[in-house]
Amino acid sequence: MPSVKFKYPDEKSVYPKLISAVNALCIAMGKSCTCTSGYRSLEKQKIINAQKLAERKDNYQKPNGAVYNKQGQCIAAEYGKSNHCYCIAMDISDGWFKALTNKEIEKFGLVKPMSYEPWHVQLIEHTGLTLAQKIALKESVLGIKRS
């Protein structure tokens, strides 16, 4: 049965409803897909930011760690602030997935919030969450208990 597969086992900690929505999309399309980036630790986010900075000589980095391209688009979030760090985003590398529009995926509760990143997907319901809400979701996914 078509479903999402994770390229990296350490990135499988993603909000279950997001995984279910992507799986429903895969079933409807009759195709599996690969998640090339799910949950990211702070350490992994720092590595990605360094890679993005090095990709092009005109990319630049702000003191908070965020990396931007020459068009001013944020291509790597501030350290620890990526929605991947909160378990609520996935990057899907497959061409068929990247070609889908928001109109096509909204019936699955999904959105690609950045037009210049057609691989990045989140749940529509997670748009506009507060930091406290993001932290609560991360803690629920990772099984972190507050004392």
Cβ neighbours for 147, distance < 8 A, ≥ 6 positions apart: none
How far apart CA 73 and CA 138 sit, in angstroms, is: 26
What does the DSSP 8-state code read for residue 77?
Answer: P
The confidence band for 146, taking pLDDT boundaries of 50, 70 and 90, is confident
Are residues 90 and 110 in contact, defined by beta-carbon separation less than 8 angstroms? no
pTM: 0.90
What are the structural domain ranges in the chain? 1-39+83-146, 41-81
Residue range 17-69, pLDDT digits in tens: 999 999 999 999 999 999 999 999 999 999 999 999 999 999 999 999 999 99
